[in-house]
Amino acid sequence: MPAEVKTHPSNHRPASLQGAVFTFTTEQERVEAIDKAFDYRGDVTLTVNGEQIEGYIFNRNAKASPPRIEVFVKGSEVPKVIPYAEVTAIAFTGKDTADGKSWDAWVSKKESERKAEADKIKAEAEAQGHL
71 and 125 both lie in a single domain: no
Q: 83-110: per-residue pLDDT in tens?
A: 999 999 999 998 876 666 666 767 778 8
93 and 55 both lie in a single domain: yes
DSSP state at residue 88: E
81 and 116 both lie in a single domain: no
Tell me, what's the pLDDT at 84?
96
9 and 61 both lie in a single domain: yes
Name the domain count of the chain: 2
88 and 120 both lie in a single domain: no
What are the two backbone dihedrals, phi and then psi, of residue 6, each rounded to the nearest 5 degrees?
A: -90, 145
Q: Tell me the CATH number at 21.
A: 2.30.30
Segment-wise mean pLDDT, segments of 10 residues, the chain, 131 residues: 42 65 92 92 92 95 95 94 96 78 73 90 88 74
CA distance 19 to 26: 22
Domain residues for the domain of 74 are 1-97
26 and 40 both lie in a single domain: yes
8 and 36 both lie in a single domain: yes
Tell me, what's the pLDDT at 5?
44
117 and 82 both lie in a single domain: no
Tell me, what's the pLDDT at 54?
96
89 and 105 both lie in a single domain: no
Q: Alpha carbon of 6 to those of 16, 18, 119: distances in Å? A: 9, 12, 39
